[in-house]
Structure formats: C-alpha cells, structure tokens
Amino acid sequence: MSYRCDNGVAQANSGGCVIPAYTPTLTLSIRQAGASAALFKWAQTHMDAHWGLKGKGSPLTRASGGAGEGNMKIVCDSTFRRQGAVVVKGGSNDVDSCDEFPFASTVQSGSATLKKEKKT
C-alpha cells in the first residue's frame, strides 16, 4: 500500500504520514461535542456538496500553510454576533461561537465563498 509523509500535517513543526487510498471518517457524538456535532450533521446532510458525508460527499482537504487562521478571520469578522446559548437534547448549554464548517483549515472553508461574494 502506498503512503505519503509530510511535514506540519497535524501540528506546527510536526510530521505525519497518510495513506491516500484511505479516507478517514470523523464521528462526532452530540452528547460529547454538543451543538457543533449537530451543526456538522445538518451541514453534511443539507448543503449541496455534502462535504465529508460518508458515501455521498467529497472528503474535506487540508489547506496549505497557515490558511486556517486567515480563513477564520474572514468568516469571523466584525459582522459575527453571538446569538446566545444552544441547548442540545436537554444537555448543558454550548456557547454560540463563530467556528465554521467546513473547517477553517480546509480548502473548502467558508472563506472561499465569502471571498467570491466580496469580488462581485
């Protein structure tokens, strides 16, 4: 089986290897991840690209370099307003945040759409 090793895959100044033929699956529990898990499930099911939805969508791909921080700044600019807490299945409240799906560190980040909209 072929594999590829890169520097800085998981954390700064670290390395890691991947098997390109294998697509990993991230499973999030609503009990543990709260509103984030609920949002990711909704986005995978209802957005046209179905990013990361096993068997239906395209896998998310990691953006190069430090793109994640820049993407987060674009999505979480001064227009973001907290809307309060989110209650999931009667559990503890999750504080509303400006985190995004697809994740800031991916090529598919919401910032790509926002950059296109600002140009038109």
Q: What is the pLDDT of residues 35-83, one digit of tens each?
A: 778 888 888 888 888 888 888 888 888 787 678 888 888 888 877 776 6
Judged by average pLDDT, the poorest of 7-16, 30-39, 61-70, 102-111 is 7-16
- 50 exposure class (CB count in 10 Å sphere: 0-12, 13-18, 19+): middle
pTM for the full predicted model: 0.61
Using the Cα atoms of residue 69, residue 47, residue 42 and residue 85 in order, give the sign of their dihedral: positive
Q: Please, which pLDDT band fits residue 96 given cuts at 50, 70 and 90?
A: low
CA distance 52 to 103: 11
CA-closest candidate to residue 99, choices 25, 40, 12: 40
- Count of beta carbons in the 10 Å neighbourhood of residue 23: 11
Q: Indicate the domain borders of the chain.
A: 29-119
3-class DSSP assignment, residue 19: coil
